Amino acid sequence: DTAVSQTPKYLVTQMGNDKSIKCEQNLGHDTMYWYKQDSKKFLKIMFSYNNKELIINETVPNRFSPKSPDKAHLNLHINSLELGDSAVYFCASSPRQGASQPQHFGDGTRLSIL
C-alpha cells in the first residue's frame, strides 16, 4: 500500500528526448510537490499544486511542465532533455498547504541523460 508512488523508478534516455514521470498519492491529500535532488544531494523544490492548481513554480525552465489531472496525481513532463537534467526527482504530498503540514515523499525517479 504505497502512499506516494512514482513511475518509472529509473529512466535512462538520450539528450533531446521528451519524457514523463508520473506520481500518484492514495492519502487523500490536497497538496502535491515535485523536488529535484542533484548529484551533490542537494534537494530543491520545483513545483507545488493544491487541489489541481499551481501554487509554486520555482523558476524552473519551461521545458518542465507539471500537470495535475486530479488532486491524487501530479505528473512531470520534460521536453528536450539536457545533460543537466540528470538527477533524482521526488514527488511528495501533504494534507493541505501550510507550515505545520508534514510531507510524504515517494522513493524517487532516477533520471539519467546520455
Partner 1 sequence: DAKTTQPNSMESNEEEPVHLPCNHSTISGTDYIHWYRQLPSQGPEYVIHGLTSNVNNRMASLAIAEDRKSSTLILHRATLRDAAVYYCILRAPYNQGGKLIFGQGTELSVKP
Q: How many of the chain's residues bind partner 1 (CB under 8 A)?
A: 30
- Three cell numbers written together for 96: 493541505
- Three cell numbers written together for 33: 510537490
3-class DSSP assignment, residue 2: coil
Binding track over 63-92 against partner 1, x by CB under 8 A: ---------------------------x-x
Q: Which is nearer to partner 1, 13 or 37 (CB)?
A: 37
- Least distance from partner 1 to the Cβ atom of residue 73, Å: 17
Bridge-based pairing of strands 109-113 and 10-13 is parallel
CA separation for the pair 62, 36 (Å, rounded): 15
Chain residues that interact with partner 1, rule: CB under 8 A: 4, 31, 33, 35, 41-45, 48, 50, 55-56, 58, 90, 92, 94, 96-108
